[in-house]
């Protein structure tokens, strides 16, 4: 009989063969599978029940055409996706991403990560993800509305508060969620608040949902530092990106006494020696939808824009990759290590390459993987579902307290699981195994389905 390690290697080869040309999905699955050999040794019933084989195959993969008309009357056709990956712990839960890079492999990678992230929250939600290769950037509100209406006309038949609950992601913010919800209500004739999360607060949304992913990544970093006898006060931080995750990572760092120095977009990054001016950043990115270079133009002598540069060049104690997948590579990690980085918390989904993770871990930096460190967003989405089910609204302080408790619990279970399996301080191993065990035990209990 093959050893657990050989069996998992065989499963990985089979997965890559069955899912060709999906490198992001291969990478996400490989990271989890490489952690599981000691679990299979301790729990042979998982192998006997084919848990991993079932876990790596989505329960449902939906691909559909999205036709829409622009303001000039021209017809466009995009492709829509929803991958409902695993519902052993609850209804599928995961965002919708609107970006030209979206394809089936990207959606499967995101959905696979979501299984474990959602399990770690302990909130009874399964894993799924979706989106489209539509690019909302530069489109008018009317064009975005027409696209969202066409998208939801097809998607509505596959979702529901007890089945699948999408949220926002890259390219899908409050505007898009509003248009999607409006069309869902129109075609179903139901006010089903729990079918989408990330809604406006005056019509079923939760306080601090916008801030939750960024806040959560900082809370997780604080827990990692606490294990080393430190806190966030006075720590210099580099943050990539300038969307919701980056902006509210910066906000939480400032509120915690840390010193965030950078933010970025696809054209380059700004570094501000005085620390990022949060109100100016919000004005440029949230109100004006401008470019990050404008921050340096308006901030003054303390800030400069580096065209095409990478924030990881800036010396700092903490790093928060908060833009997109595989943005922090091996050379970036080596630079961070040379500059004395203490901890890295992933705000985006899989933003650090496997080679970079190894560099950081071997150097002794605390590394918080996305499925743990950026779980704050989906945690507050689940709290939004709870409020919707009770037709209740919670104050921001209550939601933030709940989020802090959830992030502490995620850190604790990752840390304890890593210790239990002989990998102390390895949050990647701890997160992968803890999330896997929760899902696997539910799958065992529910039989071969």
Provide the CATH number for the domain around residue 219: 3.40.50.720
265 lies in the same domain as 317:
yes
| pLDDT given for residue 85 in this prediction | 98
Alpha-carbon gap, residue 111 to 340, rounded angstroms:
34
Alpha-carbon gap, residue 278 to 144, rounded angstroms:
28
- 429 located within any domain: no
Alpha-carbon gap, residue 346 to 296, rounded angstroms:
25
Write b or e for each residue in 41-64: b if 16 or more Cβ atoms lie within 10 A of its Cβ, otherwise e.
eebeebbebebbeebbebbeebeb
| pLDDT given for residue 352 in this prediction | 98
24 lies in the same domain as 66:
no
| pLDDT given for residue 325 in this prediction | 93
| pLDDT given for residue 206 in this prediction | 98
Write b or e for each residue in 252-288: b if 16 or more Cβ atoms lie within 10 A of its Cβ, otherwise e.
bbbebebbbbbbbbeebbbbbeebbbbeebbebbeee
Residue listed under structure tokens 């039989």? 447
- 384 located within any domain: no
Q: Which domain holds residue 160?
A: 60-191
- 445 located within any domain: no
- 417 located within any domain: no
344 lies in the same domain as 217:
yes
Out of 93, 129, 252, 342, which one is annotated catalytic? 129
Alpha-carbon gap, residue 322 to 333, rounded angstroms:
15
240 lies in the same domain as 310:
yes
| 3-class secondary-structure state, position 348 | coil
Domain boundary among 191, 225, 256: 191
272 lies in the same domain as 352:
yes
Overall pTM > 0.85? yes
- How many domains does the structure of the chain reveal? 3
- 108 located within any domain: yes
284 lies in the same domain as 297:
yes
- 228 located within any domain: yes
Alpha-carbon gap, residue 369 to 101, rounded angstroms:
22
166 lies in the same domain as 223:
no
244 lies in the same domain as 354:
yes
362 lies in the same domain as 227:
yes
117 included as an active-site residue: no
| pLDDT given for residue 289 in this prediction | 86
DSSP secondary structure code for residue 302 in this structure: T
146 lies in the same domain as 36:
no
263 lies in the same domain as 158:
no
Alpha-carbon gap, residue 304 to 147, rounded angstroms:
37
Alpha-carbon gap, residue 177 to 439, rounded angstroms:
29
Q: Are 350 and 372 in contact (CB under 8 A)?
A: no
Q: What is the pLDDT along the chain (449 residues), one digit of tens a residue?
A: 688 889 999 999 999 999 999 999 999 999 999 999 999 999 999 999 999 999 999 999 999 999 999 999 999 999 999 999 999 999 999 999 999 999 999 999 999 999 999 999 999 999 999 999 999 989 999 999 999 999 999 999 999 999 999 999 999 999 999 999 999 999 999 999 999 999 999 999 999 999 999 999 999 999 999 999 999 999 999 999 999 999 999 999 999 999 999 999 999 999 999 999 999 999 999 999 899 999 999 999 999 999 999 999 999 999 999 999 999 999 999 999 999 999 999 999 999 999 999 999 999 999 999 999 999 999 999 999 999 999 999 999 999 999 999 999 999 999 999 999 999 999 999 999 999 999 999 999 999 99
| 3-class secondary-structure state, position 116 | helix
How many CB atoms within 10 Å of residue 185? Answer: 16
- 365 located within any domain: yes
List C-alpha distances in Å: 392 to 93, 151, 194, 375, 389.
20, 29, 12, 23, 8
Alpha-carbon gap, residue 242 to 88, rounded angstroms:
35
- 127 located within any domain: yes
CATH number of the domain enclosing 69: 3.40.50.10860
List C-alpha distances in Å: 277 to 32, 108, 274.
38, 37, 8
Per the rule left: phi > 0, alpha: psi between -120 and 50, beta: everything else, 275 is: left
217 lies in the same domain as 363:
yes
């Amino acid at each position: 009989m093959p050893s657990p390690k050989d069996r998992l290697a065989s499963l990985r080869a089979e997965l890559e063969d069955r899912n060709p040309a999906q490198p992001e999905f291969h990478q996400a699955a490989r990271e989890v599978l490489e952690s599981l050999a000691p679990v299979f040794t301790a729990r042979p019933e998982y192998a006997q029940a084919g848990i991993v084989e079932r876990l790596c195959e989505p329960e449902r993969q939906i691909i559909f055409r999205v036709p829409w008309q622009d303001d000039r009357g021209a017809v466009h056709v995009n492709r829509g996706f929803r991958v409902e990956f695993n519902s052993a712990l609850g209804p599928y839960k995961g965002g919708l991403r609107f970006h030209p890079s979206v394809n089936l492999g990207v959606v499967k990678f995101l959905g696979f990560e979501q299984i474990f992230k959602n399990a770690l929250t302990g909130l009874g939600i399964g894993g799924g993800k979706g989106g489209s290769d539509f690019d909302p950037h530069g489109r008018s509100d009317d064009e975005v509305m027409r696209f969202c209406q066409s998208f939801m006309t097809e998607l509505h038949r596959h979702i529901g508060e007890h089945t699948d609950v999408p949220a926002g992601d890259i390219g899908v913010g409050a505007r898009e969620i509003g248009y999607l919800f409006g069309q869902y209500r129109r075609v179903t004739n139901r006010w089903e608040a729990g079918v989408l999360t990330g809604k406006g607060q005056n019509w079923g949304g939760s306080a601090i949902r916008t801030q939750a992913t960024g806040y959560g990544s900082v809370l997780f970093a604080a827990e990692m530092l606490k294990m080393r006898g430190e806190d966030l006060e006075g720590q210099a931080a580099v943050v990539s990106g300038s969307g919701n995750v980056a902006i509210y990572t910066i906000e939480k760092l400032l509120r915690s006494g840390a010193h965030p120095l950078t933010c970025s977009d696809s054209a380059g990054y700004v570094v501000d020696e005085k620390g990022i001016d949060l109100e100016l950043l919000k004005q440029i990115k949230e109100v004006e939808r401008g470019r990050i270079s404008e921050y340096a133009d308006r901030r003054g002598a303390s800030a400069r824009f580096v065209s095409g540069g990478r924030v990881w060049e800036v010396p700092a104690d903490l790093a928060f990759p908060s833009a997109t997948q595989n943005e922090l590579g091996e050379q970036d990690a080596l630079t961070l290590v040379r500059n004395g980085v203490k901890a890295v918390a992933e705000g985006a989904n899989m933003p650090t390459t496997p080679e970079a993770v190894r560099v950081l871990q071997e150097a002794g930096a605390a590394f918080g993987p996305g499925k743990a460190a950026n779980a704050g967003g989906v945690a507050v989405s689940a709290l939004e579902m709870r409020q919707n089910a009770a037709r209740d609204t919670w104050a921001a302080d209550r939601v933030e307290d709940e989020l802090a408790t959830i992030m502490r619990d995620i850190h604790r279970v990752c840390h304890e699981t890593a210790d239990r399996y002989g990998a102390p301080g390895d949050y990647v191993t701890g997160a992968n195994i803890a999330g896997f065990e929760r899902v696997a035990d539910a799958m065992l209990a529910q039989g071969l389905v």
